[in-house]
Amino acid sequence: LSYTEQQAQIDLLTKTLRRHRKIVVIAGAGISTSAGIPDFRSTDGLFKSLQKKHNLKASGKLLFDAAVYQDEALTASFQDMVRSLSEEAAKTSPTAFHHMLARLSQENRLTRLYTQNIDGIETSMPPLATQIPLNVKAPWPRTIQLHGSLEKMVCQKCRHLGDFDGAMFDRPDAPECPECARNNQFRVETGQRSHGIGKMRPRIVLYNEHNPDEEAITSVMNADVRSRPDALIVVGTSLKIPGVRRLVKSLCSVIRSRRNGVTMWINNEPPAGKEFEDCWDLMVKGDCEEVARLAALKRWDDHSENVFDEYAEEEAKDSNGFPHAFIQPRRRGFPVAKEGPGQISVQSRQSRAQLQDVLKASKTAEPKKPAAKKSAPRKKTKKDEPAKNSRITTFSKVTKAQKVATDTEKAVKLEKEENKPMHPLPPGAARNNGPMFPQLAEKGEETPQRSSRWRQPDTISPKSVPNGMSQLLNQPAA
């Protein structure tokens, strides 16, 4: 396809990279091949070269398995491999695509960069710096390293974290942890029991082992999906890791539901699997460096104004003289006739004529008031009847209004109530309503016997006392 035939696709590519404000990028080893770092699964990739170099019976993928520390020969090959990879990564410089990602982050338009690379080229630029280890809660850095990096090494015993030192991995066995060695020496000198010394290893995630940042990475992924980005760029990866595939599917469904959402695939090979057939608005088969050149973004440390150049057809060709193919899959839907320059379809003419007639009629005709419709009584159905065991959803119970009684009806009611026999009192009520002093219940008077014990001349005594009171007064003192 020529440059002019792909103009619409190229415009979509450049507008997405220049204007969208919430971009998520998922990158693989393909973005570092231009810097001299080999990928993993290609015919001349790292798995094949490691198999030849170390005379492995299986693929070089075996050196990225957690079982390398269970075999001394595999441990020696693994140590040599990580040391050489670290030296190569230290000599390389960021590519044009790396600088484009850093520029997006500098302009605050890069929501997140998920990288599967362990070379650390992305994080060597300040706008794409990361944090090791990751926090489970926000805030999080722009770059999330899904598989760790060769920039750090960690102790398998005390989890001591330090900068990667290739000189410590120049021997067959794993190096000792300096922090464990210091603590062990102190315990021995003070007469305490030794706890042993751990081994250092690069802080990368191998196959068949737990990712120490798994919980934090899951939190970041869920937060990014909820933020509803407006663009997704999957570049330089074959999507073989199940967790990355799930993230891509979730982001594609969210972004494509937006009106201006764009999902983009950039790789030399199309995505594998039927689950990704209808996930992309734009598929770019080619080098990601060409994509960065078409976007023409400034370097992250360039503070001049943006000037975007227009490329002709000859400038869009690659080194072999063939133009890159930008393929945009059609979305499923009904075909619609498009109007070219100076052409009006029959359907649009009819719609415009009908619209003009409606406008004329609305100007001349007076607006009619809508006739009031009489609502017919609705028939009761079974749904209207309250269920026998239905839940109570109201706070008060609505009952029928009571009939107002007349004076004659009230008098008859009172007369009936008076003729009714009195209900007997319960034992408790009879006891409570009885006399307080039963012995004093009968009223009467008695003449007290004259006695010198209680009648004295200097006191005022009553003429008579209640029955039984004289007995109480004449009782001898205890």
Q: Please give the annotated binding residues for Zn(2+), written as ranges.
A: 155, 158, 177, 180
Out of 20, 147, 160, 210, pick the active-site residue.
Answer: 147
Q: Nearest CA to 81 among 208, 176, 169?
A: 169
Asked if 108 and 101 touch (Cβ cutoff 8 Å), the reply is no
- The dihedral region occupied by 32, where left means phi > 0, alpha psi between -120 and 50, and beta the remainder, is alpha
448 C-beta neighbours (distance < 10 Å), count: 18
| Of 269, 235, 265, residue with least CA distance to 252 | 265
**Gap between the Cα atoms of 343 and 211, Å rounded:** 60
Give the helix ranges, DSSP H, for 256-345: 288-295
CA–CA distance, 454 with 461 (Å, rounded to integer): 9
233 closest CA partner among 258, 254, 252: 252
292, 96 Cβ separation under 8 angstroms: yes
Q: Roughly what angle, to the nearest 10 degrees, separates helices 96-106 and 288-295? A: 50
Strands (E), 110-255: 110-115, 143-145, 148-155, 161-163, 200-204, 231-235
H helical segments located in 44-109:
46-53, 72-91, 96-106
Do 109 and 23 touch, CB atoms closer than 8 A?
yes
| CB of 27 closer than 8 Å to CB of 116 | yes
Nearest to 417 by CA among 429, 425, 409: 409
* Among 240, 228, 265, 323, residue whose Cα is nearest residue 3: 323
Is 423 in the active site? no
Q: How far apart are CA 81 and CA 51, in angstroms?
A: 11
> How many CB atoms within 10 Å of residue 412?
12
**CB 316, CB 297: distance < 8 Å:** no
Catalytic residues: 147
